[in-house]
Amino acid sequence: MQRDRRRVMDKTKLPSNWKMFLRDNNNKTEVFEFLANKIVTKCPDNVIVVIKGNQALSNSSISLDGLSPCNQ
């Protein structure tokens, strides 16, 4: 069974078969990293904290010392 590998970027067309797309771990990693970056930049009115890999990111200048690095 062939996996649906593609780069996840702003202009990337959404895959028609998410189940097949998410079978590739590289796709999952890229989707989560892409969303983490977008969430912290697109929600300026709220304090947002997300985990990207083993790093905590925030759109606010708060201490992330207890969250980063994350080993979950």
Domain boundaries defined on the chain:
18-58
Dump pLDDT digits (tens) for 7-38.
787 887 888 888 888 888 988 889 988 988 88
Which is it for the CA torsion 9, 14, 20, 22, positive or negative?
positive
Q: Per-residue DSSP letters for 22-49? A: TTSHHHHHHHHHHHHHHHHHH-TTS--E
Question: Residue 31 and residue 43: Cα distance in Å, rounded?
Answer: 18
pTM above 0.75, yes or no: no
Dump pLDDT digits (tens) for 46-57.
898 888 888 888
